[in-house]
Amino acid sequence: MSDKSLHSKVSKGVSRRGFMAGTGSILGALALAVNTVPARAEGVTGAAVASAPIDSGAHVPALVIGTGYGGSVAALRLAQAGVDVHMIEMGMAWDTPGSDGKIFANTTKPDYRSYWLRTRTKAPLSNFLGFPIDKDVPRYTGILDAEEMGGIIVYQGRGVGGGSLVNGGMAVTPKRQNFAAILPSVDAEEMYSTYYPRANAGLGVGLVDPDWFETVDCYQFARVGRKHAQRSGFPFVFVPDVYDWDYMKQEVAGTVPKSAVDGEILYGNNAGKKSLQKTYIAAARATGRVAISPLHRVTTVSPSAGGGYTVGMEQLDTTGAVVATKTVTADRVFFAAGSVGTSKLLVRLKATGALADLNDEIGKGWGDNGNVMCGRANHMWDPTGKVQASIPCGGIDNWDAGGAFAEVAPLPTGIETYASFYLSITKNPNRAEFTWNAAAGKVDLNWQTAWKQPSIDMAKTIFDKINAKEGTIYRTDLFGTNKIWGDHLTYHPLGGAVLNRATDNYGRLRGYTGLYVIDGALIPGNTSVNPFVTITALAERNIEKIIATDL
Protein backbone atom coordinates (compact mmCIF):
# COMPACT_ATOMS: atom_id res chain seq x y z
CA MET A 1 0.00 0.00 0.00
CA SER A 2 1.47 3.35 -0.95
CA ASP A 3 1.70 6.25 1.40
CA LYS A 4 -0.69 8.08 -0.90
CA SER A 5 -3.29 5.38 -0.59
CA LEU A 6 -2.78 5.34 3.14
CA HIS A 7 -3.53 9.04 3.32
CA SER A 8 -6.39 8.92 0.90
CA LYS A 9 -8.25 6.67 3.28
CA VAL A 10 -9.30 9.42 5.69
CA SER A 11 -13.00 9.10 6.21
CA LYS A 12 -14.49 12.51 5.71
CA GLY A 13 -17.33 11.64 8.03
CA VAL A 14 -14.87 10.74 10.70
CA SER A 15 -12.65 13.76 10.40
CA ARG A 16 -15.59 16.15 10.51
CA ARG A 17 -17.17 14.73 13.57
CA GLY A 18 -14.64 15.57 16.29
CA PHE A 19 -14.95 12.15 17.77
CA MET A 20 -15.70 11.14 21.20
CA ALA A 21 -14.22 8.42 23.15
CA GLY A 22 -14.94 4.80 23.66
CA THR A 23 -12.51 2.19 24.67
CA GLY A 24 -11.19 -1.01 23.51
CA SER A 25 -13.01 -3.13 25.77
CA ILE A 26 -13.15 -6.69 25.26
CA LEU A 27 -14.12 -9.25 27.26
CA GLY A 28 -14.01 -12.32 29.17
CA ALA A 29 -14.09 -15.62 27.51
CA LEU A 30 -16.56 -18.32 28.31
CA ALA A 31 -14.23 -21.13 27.53
CA LEU A 32 -15.73 -24.52 27.04
CA ALA A 33 -12.93 -26.40 25.37
CA VAL A 34 -9.19 -26.16 25.77
CA ASN A 35 -7.00 -27.17 22.87
CA THR A 36 -3.63 -28.71 23.20
CA VAL A 37 -0.80 -27.36 21.06
CA PRO A 38 -1.06 -29.16 17.73
CA ALA A 39 2.21 -30.39 16.30
CA ARG A 40 1.99 -28.14 13.27
CA ALA A 41 1.67 -25.03 15.44
CA GLU A 42 5.39 -25.38 15.99
CA GLY A 43 5.64 -24.44 12.34
CA VAL A 44 4.77 -20.90 13.42
CA THR A 45 8.28 -20.62 14.76
CA GLY A 46 9.52 -21.77 11.41
CA ALA A 47 7.42 -19.15 9.68
CA ALA A 48 8.91 -16.48 11.89
CA VAL A 49 12.40 -17.66 11.12
CA ALA A 50 11.59 -17.68 7.43
CA SER A 51 10.80 -13.97 7.62
CA ALA A 52 14.56 -13.26 7.83
CA PRO A 53 15.50 -12.78 11.47
CA ILE A 54 18.43 -10.55 12.14
CA ASP A 55 21.92 -12.11 12.24
CA SER A 56 24.15 -11.68 15.23
CA GLY A 57 26.87 -9.18 14.36
CA ALA A 58 24.66 -7.30 11.90
CA HIS A 59 24.73 -3.54 11.62
CA VAL A 60 21.54 -1.61 10.87
CA PRO A 61 21.00 2.13 10.37
CA ALA A 62 17.79 2.12 12.43
CA LEU A 63 16.60 -0.49 14.89
CA VAL A 64 13.04 -0.32 16.21
CA ILE A 65 12.17 -2.22 19.40
CA GLY A 66 8.53 -3.32 19.09
CA THR A 67 5.98 -3.40 16.26
CA GLY A 68 2.98 -1.59 17.79
CA TYR A 69 1.69 1.84 16.75
CA GLY A 70 4.76 3.93 17.53
CA GLY A 71 7.16 1.40 16.05
CA SER A 72 5.16 0.94 12.86
CA VAL A 73 4.94 4.68 12.20
CA ALA A 74 8.69 5.05 12.78
CA ALA A 75 9.51 2.13 10.46
CA LEU A 76 7.30 3.35 7.62
CA ARG A 77 8.42 6.96 7.69
CA LEU A 78 12.13 6.15 8.10
CA ALA A 79 11.94 3.69 5.21
CA GLN A 80 10.18 6.25 3.02
CA ALA A 81 13.03 8.63 3.84
CA GLY A 82 15.49 6.06 2.51
CA VAL A 83 16.65 4.55 5.81
CA ASP A 84 16.88 0.76 6.20
CA VAL A 85 15.04 -0.37 9.31
CA HIS A 86 15.01 -3.58 11.33
CA MET A 87 12.10 -4.12 13.74
CA ILE A 88 12.62 -6.45 16.69
CA GLU A 89 9.43 -8.01 18.10
CA MET A 90 9.24 -10.36 21.09
CA GLY A 91 5.91 -11.84 19.97
CA MET A 92 5.07 -14.03 17.00
CA ALA A 93 4.53 -13.09 13.36
CA TRP A 94 0.87 -14.21 13.41
CA ASP A 95 0.89 -15.09 9.74
CA THR A 96 0.36 -18.86 9.85
CA PRO A 97 -2.92 -20.69 10.53
CA GLY A 98 -3.20 -23.23 13.32
CA SER A 99 -4.71 -26.69 12.90
CA ASP A 100 -8.23 -25.19 12.77
CA GLY A 101 -7.25 -23.24 9.65
CA LYS A 102 -7.39 -19.93 11.52
CA ILE A 103 -4.57 -17.71 12.66
CA PHE A 104 -6.38 -16.47 15.76
CA ALA A 105 -8.54 -18.16 18.42
CA ASN A 106 -12.12 -17.07 19.13
CA THR A 107 -12.87 -15.01 22.24
CA THR A 108 -15.19 -17.73 23.53
CA LYS A 109 -12.67 -20.54 23.03
CA PRO A 110 -9.23 -19.48 24.24
CA ASP A 111 -6.50 -21.98 23.40
CA TYR A 112 -2.71 -22.18 23.24
CA ARG A 113 -2.65 -19.09 20.97
CA SER A 114 -4.48 -16.84 23.40
CA TYR A 115 -2.04 -15.99 26.20
CA TRP A 116 1.57 -14.97 26.47
CA LEU A 117 3.41 -17.70 28.38
CA ARG A 118 0.63 -18.65 30.79
CA THR A 119 -0.69 -22.08 31.71
CA ARG A 120 -4.11 -20.68 32.62
CA THR A 121 -6.14 -17.99 30.89
CA LYS A 122 -6.52 -14.64 32.68
CA ALA A 123 -9.71 -13.25 31.15
CA PRO A 124 -10.50 -9.60 31.94
CA LEU A 125 -13.96 -10.72 33.04
CA SER A 126 -12.95 -13.50 35.36
CA ASN A 127 -16.40 -14.75 36.33
CA PHE A 128 -19.87 -15.30 34.98
CA LEU A 129 -22.87 -15.78 37.24
CA GLY A 130 -20.23 -15.85 39.95
CA PHE A 131 -18.39 -18.87 38.52
CA PRO A 132 -14.73 -18.51 37.49
CA ILE A 133 -14.30 -19.00 33.75
CA ASP A 134 -10.54 -19.24 33.37
CA LYS A 135 -9.17 -22.48 31.89
CA ASP A 136 -5.88 -24.28 31.63
CA VAL A 137 -4.04 -23.70 28.36
CA PRO A 138 -0.66 -24.91 27.11
CA ARG A 139 2.17 -22.46 27.70
CA TYR A 140 2.88 -20.71 24.43
CA THR A 141 3.99 -17.36 23.08
CA GLY A 142 0.35 -16.37 22.63
CA ILE A 143 -1.16 -13.08 21.61
CA LEU A 144 -2.44 -11.48 24.83
CA ASP A 145 -0.19 -10.70 27.77
CA ALA A 146 -1.90 -10.22 31.11
CA GLU A 147 1.12 -8.75 32.87
CA GLU A 148 0.72 -8.57 36.64
CA MET A 149 2.47 -5.44 37.85
CA GLY A 150 1.87 -5.16 41.58
CA GLY A 151 -1.57 -3.61 42.06
CA ILE A 152 -2.72 -3.86 38.45
CA ILE A 153 -2.93 -6.30 35.55
CA VAL A 154 -1.79 -4.62 32.34
CA TYR A 155 -3.22 -6.25 29.19
CA GLN A 156 -1.02 -5.92 26.10
CA GLY A 157 -0.79 -7.41 22.62
CA ARG A 158 2.22 -9.57 21.74
CA GLY A 159 3.24 -10.09 18.14
CA VAL A 160 3.83 -8.22 14.91
CA GLY A 161 1.27 -5.44 15.24
CA GLY A 162 1.44 -5.06 19.04
CA GLY A 163 -1.80 -3.91 20.64
CA SER A 164 -3.52 -3.65 17.27
CA LEU A 165 -3.77 -7.45 17.25
CA VAL A 166 -6.00 -7.66 20.32
CA ASN A 167 -7.68 -4.30 20.75
CA GLY A 168 -11.23 -3.22 19.94
CA GLY A 169 -10.03 -0.94 17.18
CA MET A 170 -11.80 2.09 18.67
CA ALA A 171 -10.01 4.95 16.99
CA VAL A 172 -10.72 8.11 18.85
CA THR A 173 -9.31 11.60 18.47
CA PRO A 174 -9.65 13.47 21.77
CA LYS A 175 -11.76 16.60 21.91
CA ARG A 176 -9.53 19.52 21.18
CA GLN A 177 -10.39 21.31 24.42
CA ASN A 178 -8.92 18.34 26.33
CA PHE A 179 -5.66 18.22 24.41
CA ALA A 180 -3.68 20.69 26.52
CA ALA A 181 -4.12 18.40 29.52
CA ILE A 182 -2.98 15.35 27.50
CA LEU A 183 0.24 16.65 25.93
CA PRO A 184 0.86 20.15 27.33
CA SER A 185 4.11 20.79 25.42
CA VAL A 186 2.70 19.93 21.98
CA ASP A 187 1.20 22.47 19.56
CA ALA A 188 -2.49 21.51 19.35
CA GLU A 189 -3.05 23.36 16.10
CA GLU A 190 -0.38 21.29 14.39
CA MET A 191 -1.79 18.06 15.79
CA TYR A 192 -5.38 18.74 14.74
CA SER A 193 -4.55 20.13 11.33
CA THR A 194 -1.84 17.67 10.31
CA TYR A 195 -0.98 14.73 12.53
CA TYR A 196 -4.37 13.49 13.76
CA PRO A 197 -5.70 13.48 10.15
CA ARG A 198 -2.52 11.71 9.00
CA ALA A 199 -2.88 9.09 11.73
CA ASN A 200 -6.57 8.50 11.01
CA ALA A 201 -5.75 8.08 7.33
CA GLY A 202 -2.89 5.69 7.96
CA LEU A 203 -4.96 3.59 10.34
CA GLY A 204 -7.99 3.39 8.03
CA VAL A 205 -10.49 4.79 10.53
CA GLY A 206 -14.21 4.71 9.74
CA LEU A 207 -17.62 5.05 11.38
CA VAL A 208 -20.54 2.62 11.61
CA ASP A 209 -23.37 3.37 9.16
CA PRO A 210 -25.97 4.90 11.53
CA ASP A 211 -28.95 3.64 9.51
CA TRP A 212 -27.62 0.08 9.39
CA PHE A 213 -26.83 0.29 13.13
CA GLU A 214 -30.55 0.82 13.84
CA THR A 215 -31.53 -2.40 12.07
CA VAL A 216 -29.12 -5.14 13.09
CA ASP A 217 -29.39 -7.66 15.92
CA CYS A 218 -25.66 -7.52 16.65
CA TYR A 219 -25.92 -3.91 17.90
CA GLN A 220 -29.02 -4.36 20.03
CA PHE A 221 -26.75 -4.15 23.08
CA ALA A 222 -25.58 -0.72 21.96
CA ARG A 223 -29.11 0.51 21.25
CA VAL A 224 -30.18 -0.58 24.74
CA GLY A 225 -27.10 1.24 26.11
CA ARG A 226 -28.11 4.34 24.17
CA LYS A 227 -31.70 4.24 25.37
CA HIS A 228 -30.68 3.98 29.01
CA ALA A 229 -28.09 6.74 28.66
CA GLN A 230 -30.48 9.13 26.98
CA ARG A 231 -33.32 8.48 29.43
CA SER A 232 -30.93 9.64 32.17
CA GLY A 233 -29.93 12.73 30.21
CA PHE A 234 -26.48 11.58 29.03
CA PRO A 235 -25.35 12.09 25.43
CA PHE A 236 -24.67 8.88 23.49
CA VAL A 237 -22.09 9.27 20.72
CA PHE A 238 -20.94 7.02 17.91
CA VAL A 239 -17.25 6.14 18.10
CA PRO A 240 -15.05 5.45 15.04
CA ASP A 241 -13.20 2.18 14.62
CA VAL A 242 -10.67 0.58 12.29
CA TYR A 243 -12.98 -2.36 11.57
CA ASP A 244 -13.99 -2.71 7.92
CA TRP A 245 -17.66 -1.80 8.30
CA ASP A 246 -18.55 -3.05 4.81
CA TYR A 247 -17.14 -6.43 5.76
CA MET A 248 -19.30 -6.45 8.89
CA LYS A 249 -22.38 -5.71 6.80
CA GLN A 250 -21.52 -8.76 4.71
CA GLU A 251 -21.01 -10.82 7.87
CA VAL A 252 -24.53 -9.92 8.95
CA ALA A 253 -25.84 -10.67 5.45
CA GLY A 254 -24.16 -14.08 5.61
CA THR A 255 -22.07 -13.60 2.48
CA VAL A 256 -18.60 -13.81 4.09
CA PRO A 257 -17.14 -15.77 7.02
CA LYS A 258 -18.23 -14.25 10.32
CA SER A 259 -15.56 -12.53 12.38
CA ALA A 260 -16.63 -9.60 14.61
CA VAL A 261 -20.17 -10.94 14.52
CA ASP A 262 -18.79 -14.26 15.75
CA GLY A 263 -17.07 -12.52 18.67
CA GLU A 264 -13.49 -12.53 17.36
CA ILE A 265 -11.36 -9.81 18.94
CA LEU A 266 -9.54 -10.27 22.24
CA TYR A 267 -7.36 -13.11 20.98
CA GLY A 268 -7.09 -11.71 17.45
CA ASN A 269 -9.47 -11.12 14.58
CA ASN A 270 -9.31 -13.26 11.45
CA ALA A 271 -11.02 -10.96 8.95
CA GLY A 272 -12.41 -7.44 9.17
CA LYS A 273 -10.15 -5.62 11.59
CA LYS A 274 -7.52 -3.38 10.05
CA SER A 275 -4.70 -4.20 12.43
CA LEU A 276 -1.29 -2.61 11.84
CA GLN A 277 -0.32 -5.73 9.87
CA LYS A 278 -2.77 -4.53 7.20
CA THR A 279 -1.99 -0.80 7.34
CA TYR A 280 1.28 0.75 8.52
CA ILE A 281 3.29 -2.48 8.60
CA ALA A 282 2.08 -3.57 5.15
CA ALA A 283 3.06 -0.15 3.81
CA ALA A 284 6.42 -0.31 5.57
CA ARG A 285 7.19 -3.76 4.17
CA ALA A 286 6.19 -2.58 0.70
CA THR A 287 9.05 -0.08 0.73
CA GLY A 288 11.48 -3.00 0.66
CA ARG A 289 13.52 -1.34 3.39
CA VAL A 290 11.90 -2.85 6.48
CA ALA A 291 12.73 -6.26 7.94
CA ILE A 292 11.11 -7.75 11.03
CA SER A 293 12.46 -10.30 13.50
CA PRO A 294 9.56 -11.84 15.45
CA LEU A 295 10.21 -13.90 18.60
CA HIS A 296 13.22 -11.70 19.40
CA ARG A 297 13.27 -9.84 22.71
CA VAL A 298 15.63 -6.90 23.23
CA THR A 299 17.45 -7.11 26.55
CA THR A 300 20.17 -4.46 26.38
CA VAL A 301 21.07 -1.24 24.61
CA SER A 302 24.37 0.52 25.30
CA PRO A 303 26.69 2.93 23.49
CA SER A 304 29.12 1.23 21.07
CA ALA A 305 32.80 2.09 21.19
CA GLY A 306 32.77 3.04 17.51
CA GLY A 307 29.60 5.18 17.72
CA GLY A 308 25.97 4.15 17.60
CA TYR A 309 24.57 1.49 19.92
CA THR A 310 25.05 -2.16 20.71
CA VAL A 311 21.73 -3.98 21.08
CA GLY A 312 21.50 -7.36 22.76
CA MET A 313 18.56 -9.66 22.26
CA GLU A 314 17.25 -13.17 22.86
CA GLN A 315 15.57 -15.30 20.22
CA LEU A 316 12.68 -17.30 21.68
CA ASP A 317 10.87 -20.45 20.65
CA THR A 318 7.12 -20.82 21.11
CA THR A 319 7.55 -22.18 24.65
CA GLY A 320 9.35 -18.96 25.57
CA ALA A 321 12.72 -20.70 25.85
CA VAL A 322 15.76 -18.75 24.68
CA VAL A 323 17.22 -20.52 21.63
CA ALA A 324 19.88 -17.92 20.76
CA THR A 325 21.35 -14.68 22.01
CA LYS A 326 22.42 -12.07 19.50
CA THR A 327 24.27 -8.78 19.50
CA VAL A 328 23.86 -6.22 16.72
CA THR A 329 24.81 -2.59 16.25
CA ALA A 330 22.59 0.27 15.16
CA ASP A 331 23.18 3.93 14.40
CA ARG A 332 19.85 4.83 15.96
CA VAL A 333 17.51 2.94 18.27
CA PHE A 334 13.79 3.64 18.62
CA PHE A 335 12.13 2.36 21.81
CA ALA A 336 8.62 1.33 20.78
CA ALA A 337 8.05 -1.59 23.15
CA GLY A 338 4.87 -0.01 24.56
CA SER A 339 4.52 2.00 27.77
CA VAL A 340 5.40 -0.95 29.99
CA GLY A 341 8.01 -2.53 27.71
CA THR A 342 9.88 0.70 27.01
CA SER A 343 9.72 1.84 30.64
CA LYS A 344 10.97 -1.48 31.98
CA LEU A 345 13.88 -1.52 29.55
CA LEU A 346 14.92 2.08 30.22
CA VAL A 347 14.62 1.83 34.01
CA ARG A 348 16.76 -1.31 34.04
CA LEU A 349 19.35 0.05 31.61
CA LYS A 350 19.71 3.25 33.63
CA ALA A 351 19.95 1.45 36.99
CA THR A 352 22.41 -1.17 35.80
CA GLY A 353 24.70 1.37 34.13
CA ALA A 354 24.16 0.48 30.44
CA LEU A 355 22.49 3.86 29.90
CA ALA A 356 23.51 5.56 33.15
CA ASP A 357 23.13 9.09 31.75
CA LEU A 358 19.37 8.83 31.26
CA ASN A 359 17.71 11.43 33.45
CA ASP A 360 15.64 10.98 36.61
CA GLU A 361 12.33 11.24 34.77
CA ILE A 362 12.80 7.70 33.43
CA GLY A 363 10.07 5.43 34.84
CA LYS A 364 7.85 8.29 36.04
CA GLY A 365 4.41 9.56 35.08
CA TRP A 366 2.70 6.21 34.43
CA GLY A 367 -1.10 6.03 34.39
CA ASP A 368 -3.88 3.57 33.51
CA ASN A 369 -5.93 6.01 31.39
CA GLY A 370 -8.49 5.81 34.20
CA ASN A 371 -9.85 2.45 32.97
CA VAL A 372 -12.58 0.84 35.05
CA MET A 373 -15.25 -1.72 34.05
CA CYS A 374 -18.71 -2.53 35.28
CA GLY A 375 -21.91 -4.29 34.26
CA ARG A 376 -25.59 -3.55 34.89
CA ALA A 377 -28.38 -6.10 35.20
CA ASN A 378 -31.24 -5.18 32.90
CA HIS A 379 -34.90 -6.12 33.19
CA MET A 380 -36.20 -9.11 31.21
CA TRP A 381 -37.89 -6.71 28.80
CA ASP A 382 -34.52 -5.20 27.89
CA PRO A 383 -32.51 -8.06 26.36
CA THR A 384 -29.13 -7.08 24.96
CA GLY A 385 -29.03 -9.87 22.37
CA LYS A 386 -27.53 -13.31 21.93
CA VAL A 387 -25.36 -12.17 19.05
CA GLN A 388 -23.21 -9.12 19.76
CA ALA A 389 -20.62 -7.66 17.40
CA SER A 390 -17.28 -7.64 19.19
CA ILE A 391 -16.53 -4.14 17.89
CA PRO A 392 -17.91 -1.39 20.13
CA CYS A 393 -19.32 1.59 18.25
CA GLY A 394 -20.71 3.99 20.82
CA GLY A 395 -20.39 5.44 24.26
CA ILE A 396 -21.77 7.72 26.94
CA ASP A 397 -20.03 11.06 27.21
CA ASN A 398 -19.94 12.54 30.68
CA TRP A 399 -16.36 13.78 30.46
CA ASP A 400 -17.11 17.44 31.00
CA ALA A 401 -19.57 16.86 33.81
CA GLY A 402 -18.07 13.91 35.66
CA GLY A 403 -14.72 13.06 34.07
CA ALA A 404 -15.86 9.79 32.52
CA PHE A 405 -16.47 8.44 29.08
CA ALA A 406 -18.12 5.02 29.11
CA GLU A 407 -17.93 2.71 26.15
CA VAL A 408 -21.06 0.65 25.69
CA ALA A 409 -19.21 -2.62 25.29
CA PRO A 410 -20.27 -5.97 23.89
CA LEU A 411 -20.44 -9.19 25.89
CA PRO A 412 -20.16 -11.66 23.01
CA THR A 413 -21.00 -14.79 24.97
CA GLY A 414 -23.43 -16.33 22.46
CA ILE A 415 -26.22 -16.37 25.07
CA GLU A 416 -28.70 -13.76 26.28
CA THR A 417 -27.20 -12.24 29.43
CA TYR A 418 -29.57 -9.28 30.01
CA ALA A 419 -26.38 -7.42 30.92
CA SER A 420 -25.14 -4.05 29.82
CA PHE A 421 -21.39 -3.87 30.02
CA TYR A 422 -19.21 -0.76 30.08
CA LEU A 423 -15.55 0.17 30.02
CA SER A 424 -15.07 3.71 31.31
CA ILE A 425 -12.14 6.00 30.66
CA THR A 426 -11.92 8.46 33.52
CA LYS A 427 -9.91 11.43 34.69
CA ASN A 428 -7.87 9.54 37.29
CA PRO A 429 -5.05 11.79 38.58
CA ASN A 430 -2.95 9.02 40.15
CA ARG A 431 0.46 8.33 38.60
CA ALA A 432 2.80 5.45 39.35
CA GLU A 433 6.54 4.96 38.93
CA PHE A 434 8.65 2.08 37.63
CA THR A 435 11.73 1.36 39.77
CA TRP A 436 14.58 -1.12 39.64
CA ASN A 437 14.35 -3.85 42.28
CA ALA A 438 18.00 -4.91 42.49
CA ALA A 439 17.35 -7.73 44.94
CA ALA A 440 14.79 -9.38 42.67
CA GLY A 441 16.56 -8.33 39.47
CA LYS A 442 13.36 -6.87 37.99
CA VAL A 443 11.45 -3.65 37.47
CA ASP A 444 8.51 -2.94 39.80
CA LEU A 445 5.54 -0.59 39.37
CA ASN A 446 4.11 1.01 42.53
CA TRP A 447 0.46 1.30 41.37
CA GLN A 448 -2.05 0.58 44.16
CA THR A 449 -5.46 -0.96 43.45
CA ALA A 450 -7.00 1.65 45.77
CA TRP A 451 -5.85 4.32 43.31
CA LYS A 452 -8.79 3.32 41.09
CA GLN A 453 -11.25 4.91 43.54
CA PRO A 454 -11.40 8.25 41.65
CA SER A 455 -12.24 6.28 38.49
CA ILE A 456 -15.01 4.38 40.25
CA ASP A 457 -16.39 7.64 41.67
CA MET A 458 -16.50 9.17 38.18
CA ALA A 459 -18.05 6.11 36.56
CA LYS A 460 -20.69 6.16 39.28
CA THR A 461 -21.76 9.64 38.15
CA ILE A 462 -23.14 7.84 35.10
CA PHE A 463 -24.26 4.42 36.28
CA ASP A 464 -25.77 5.26 39.67
CA LYS A 465 -28.04 7.67 37.83
CA ILE A 466 -28.96 5.19 35.10
CA ASN A 467 -29.69 2.46 37.66
CA ALA A 468 -31.88 4.83 39.66
CA LYS A 469 -33.81 5.87 36.56
CA GLU A 470 -34.22 2.34 35.17
CA GLY A 471 -34.81 0.61 38.51
CA THR A 472 -31.82 -1.66 37.82
CA ILE A 473 -28.73 -2.76 39.74
CA TYR A 474 -25.05 -3.39 39.12
CA ARG A 475 -23.94 -6.90 38.16
CA THR A 476 -21.80 -8.34 40.93
CA ASP A 477 -20.84 -11.60 39.19
CA LEU A 478 -18.40 -10.52 36.47
CA PHE A 479 -15.19 -9.75 38.33
CA GLY A 480 -15.54 -12.21 41.21
CA THR A 481 -18.37 -12.94 43.60
CA ASN A 482 -20.10 -9.86 44.94
CA LYS A 483 -17.77 -7.49 43.17
CA ILE A 484 -19.14 -4.60 41.12
CA TRP A 485 -16.05 -2.89 39.74
CA GLY A 486 -13.41 -4.20 37.38
CA ASP A 487 -10.72 -2.11 39.08
CA HIS A 488 -7.88 -4.60 38.80
CA LEU A 489 -6.75 -3.94 35.23
CA THR A 490 -5.98 -1.58 32.42
CA TYR A 491 -6.01 -1.94 28.63
CA HIS A 492 -4.43 1.49 28.21
CA PRO A 493 -1.01 1.76 29.89
CA LEU A 494 0.54 5.19 29.24
CA GLY A 495 3.70 6.98 30.35
CA GLY A 496 6.99 6.02 31.96
CA ALA A 497 9.23 8.03 29.58
CA VAL A 498 7.18 11.18 29.31
CA LEU A 499 7.59 13.66 26.44
CA ASN A 500 9.53 16.80 27.28
CA ARG A 501 10.67 15.26 30.58
CA ALA A 502 12.51 11.96 30.02
CA THR A 503 12.91 13.01 26.39
CA ASP A 504 12.97 16.32 24.58
CA ASN A 505 9.78 17.60 22.98
CA TYR A 506 10.16 15.12 20.08
CA GLY A 507 11.03 11.90 21.89
CA ARG A 508 14.84 12.16 21.81
CA LEU A 509 16.05 10.54 25.04
CA ARG A 510 17.93 13.06 27.14
CA GLY A 511 21.53 12.03 27.71
CA TYR A 512 22.02 10.05 24.47
CA THR A 513 22.14 11.18 20.83
CA GLY A 514 20.41 8.68 18.54
CA LEU A 515 18.10 7.09 21.12
CA TYR A 516 14.39 7.81 20.83
CA VAL A 517 11.10 6.88 22.51
CA ILE A 518 8.18 6.75 20.07
CA ASP A 519 5.29 4.89 21.76
CA GLY A 520 2.71 5.21 24.54
CA ALA A 521 5.48 5.70 27.11
CA LEU A 522 5.63 9.34 25.97
CA ILE A 523 2.08 10.15 27.06
CA PRO A 524 1.68 11.14 30.70
CA GLY A 525 -0.96 8.69 31.87
CA ASN A 526 -4.25 9.77 30.30
CA THR A 527 -5.63 10.67 26.88
CA SER A 528 -9.28 11.23 27.92
CA VAL A 529 -10.21 8.73 25.18
CA ASN A 530 -8.81 5.48 23.78
CA PRO A 531 -5.13 6.07 23.19
CA PHE A 532 -3.93 4.56 19.93
CA VAL A 533 -4.86 7.42 17.59
CA THR A 534 -2.99 9.84 19.85
CA ILE A 535 0.02 7.50 20.07
CA THR A 536 0.02 7.23 16.26
CA ALA A 537 -0.42 10.98 15.67
CA LEU A 538 2.33 11.87 18.15
CA ALA A 539 4.64 9.34 16.49
CA GLU A 540 3.86 10.91 13.08
CA ARG A 541 4.72 14.36 14.46
CA ASN A 542 7.93 13.26 16.15
CA ILE A 543 9.33 11.13 13.34
CA GLU A 544 8.75 13.91 10.83
CA LYS A 545 10.90 16.24 12.94
CA ILE A 546 13.53 13.57 13.60
CA ILE A 547 13.85 12.76 9.89
CA ALA A 548 14.08 16.44 9.00
CA THR A 549 16.71 17.36 11.58
CA ASP A 550 18.62 14.28 12.76
CA LEU A 551 19.23 12.22 9.63
DSSP per residue over 244-310, as a string? -HHHHHHHHHTSS--SGGGT--TT--SSSB--GGGTHHHHHHHTT-EEEETTEEEEEEEE-TTSSEE
Tell which positions 329-388 bind ligand FAE, by CB under 6 A.
336-339, 341, 345
Among residues 29, 389, 535, 543, which is the contact residue for ligand FAE, using CB under 6 A? Answer: 535
How many other CB atoms are found less than 10 A from the CB of residue 37? 18
Closest distance of CB 219 from ligand FAE, Å: 16
Q: Which residues are catalytic?
A: 407, 492
Strand partners of residue 373 = 423, 486
From 307, 362, 359, select the one nearest 333 (Cα to Cα).
307
Residue 245 found at the interface with ligand FAE (CB under 6 A) = no
CB 389 within 8 A of CB 408: no
Among residues 10, 14, 20, 24, which is the contact residue for ligand FAE, using CB under 6 A? Answer: 24
Tell which positions 37-96 bind ligand FAE, by CB under 6 A.
65-70, 88-91
Judged by beta carbon, residue 118 or residue 465, the one nearer ligand FAE is 118
Phi/psi for 292 (5° steps) reads -130, 135
Closest distance of CB 279 from ligand FAE, Å: 13
Q: How far apart are CA 73 and CA 69, in angstroms?
A: 6
Residues 452-491: x where in contact with ligand FAE by CB under 6 A, - otherwise, as a string:
---------------------------------------x
Closest distance of CB 254 from ligand FAE, Å: 26
- 88 membership: H or E segment, kind and range: strand 85-88
Strand partners of residue 420 = 376
Residue 166 found at the interface with ligand FAE (CB under 6 A) = yes
Closest distance of CB 184 from ligand FAE, Å: 19
Number of shown-chain residues binding ligand FAE (CB under 6 A): 42
Among residues 53, 110, 142, 163, which is the contact residue for ligand FAE, using CB under 6 A? Answer: 163
- 177 membership: H or E segment, kind and range: helix 176-182
Phi/psi for 418 (5° steps) reads 55, 25
Closest distance of CB 147 from ligand FAE, Å: 10
Q: How far apart are CA 283 and CA 5, in angstroms?
A: 10
Residue 297 found at the interface with ligand FAE (CB under 6 A) = yes
Closest distance of CB 473 from ligand FAE, Å: 27
Tell which positions 488-527 bind ligand FAE, by CB under 6 A.
491-492, 519-520
CB 342 within 8 A of CB 503: no
Residue nearest to ligand FAE as judged by C-beta position: 24
Among residues 115, 155, 267, 309, which is the contact residue for ligand FAE, using CB under 6 A? Answer: 155
Closest distance of CB 342 from ligand FAE, Å: 7
Burial 184-219 (b: 16+ CB within 10 A, else e): eebebeebbeebbbbbbbbbbbbbbbeeebeebebb
Judged by beta carbon, residue 156 or residue 378, the one nearer ligand FAE is 156
Residue 170 found at the interface with ligand FAE (CB under 6 A) = yes
Burial 277-292 (b: 16+ CB within 10 A, else e): bbbbbbbbbebebbbb
Residue ranges in contact with ligand FAE by CB under 6 A: 23-24, 26, 65-70, 88-91, 155-159, 162-163, 166-170, 266, 297-298, 336-339, 341, 345, 491-492, 519-520, 530-532, 535
